[in-house]
Amino acid sequence: MKKAIGGAAIAACTATICVSAVMYRSGVSRKLYVLPKLMKLMQGKDSPAQRQYKAVMPAYHEGCKWFEAKACEEKKIRSFDGLSLYARYLPSVGSKKTVILCHGYRGSGLGDFGGIVRYLHEELKLNILMIDERSHGKSEGKHMTYGINERFDICRWAKLIAKQHPDHKIYLYGISMGAASVLMTPTTDLPEKVCGLIADCGYTSPDDIFRSVCRSMYHLPPFPFVDLAELFVKLFAGVDFTLCSAKQALKSCKLPVLFFHGSADDFVPPHMSDENFAACASEKELVKIDGAYHATSYYIDFEKYTNALRAFIERH
């Protein structure tokens, strides 16, 4: 009996360590260690969210095709920890307003902004800086840090624009992980030319989203799996997920903030934007888009979304 109990305990501990290791690897490593087929299975074959994503694909592809046909200037910077970071810059003739687009987890600039980038450039007359976050696209890096290090990268991009275009006003616009990263930038030394933050479906903190995804995607209790996975993150990626949070950063924010969130978001829960909004000490506005899933808000109600966006840019 004792051997059986001991064997079961060892098996349980081993399984816990293995699951936590998978969460760490798939969560922060640039290389996706979880089989793509398994990820698709966990997301569901024909969920309402997947159907919504399929429905917006034509608008997405049209926007991507438009942007790719433009002659963009390649820009590079060096991160505080020595990584080469890459971006594409699309100027708008005569404009003195630049928006820095910050994409989400395992995403890309066009992947997250493909359906709205043309509007930003042609209707709002914004210069576009579309960045590749660290460990994405052409930018270097082995680990994603959920905003902990990305906030400093965004600050450096803002400083580059401020240096190269000292008469430009700058806006930081992020979706999902990009939004959370943007909301953490008030803890950095942003240049004075930054006039506002725009956050679409951003989470409250790296720790919060890790625990939320553990429940929704892995269908497991956060303890002990997330706690062990975050220990691996600290040991092997050198990042402490409790070091910084969007909600905490917003308590001392002095820049105006525009929040967006889809009411049906099943990846980053809408209550996270509610919490960020409540914590924000500066001028703020929260726009909820009914029926929108994760990162689809501007597709689902383009008029409501862009009206709020235009008013924010014009006001600041």
pLDDT at 224 over 80: yes
Q: Is the peptide bond before 256 cis (omega within 30 degrees of 0)?
A: no
Please state, for a pLDDT cut of 90, what percent of the chain lies above it: 77
Residue 46 binned pLDDT confidence (cut-offs 50, 70, 90): confident
pLDDT at 3 over 90: no
Contacts of 42-45 spanning 24+ positions with Cβ under 8 A:
42/217, 42/218, 43/217
Q: What is the pLDDT of residue 23?
A: 74
pLDDT at 57 over 60: yes
- Cα(42)–Cα(32) distance, rounded to whole angstroms? 15
Q: What is the mean pLDDT of the chain?
A: 91
Using an 8 Å Cβ cutoff, are 52 and 266 in contact? no
User: pLDDT tens digit string along 138-178?
Assistant: 999 999 999 999 999 999 999 999 999 999 999 999 999 99
Using an 8 Å Cβ cutoff, are 176 and 200 in contact? yes
Q: What is the pLDDT of residue 39?
A: 47
The pTM for the full model equals 0.93
pLDDT at 37 over 50: no
Concatenating the DSSP letter of every residue in 148-196 gives: TTHHHHHHHHHHHHHHH-TT-EEEEEEETHHHHHHHHGGGS---TTEEE
Q: What is the pLDDT of residue 44?
A: 55
Q: What is the pLDDT of residue 1?
A: 53
User: pLDDT tens digit string along 208-222?
Assistant: 999 999 898 888 888
Residue ranges of domains in the chain: 46-226+236-315
Q: What is the pLDDT of residue 36?
A: 46
Q: What is the pLDDT of residue 12?
A: 57
User: pLDDT tens digit string along 82-119?
Assistant: 999 999 999 999 999 999 999 999 999 999 999 999 99
Superfamily designation of domain 46-226+236-315 = Alpha/Beta hydrolase fold, catalytic domain (3.40.50.1820)
Q: What is the pLDDT of residue 11?
A: 59
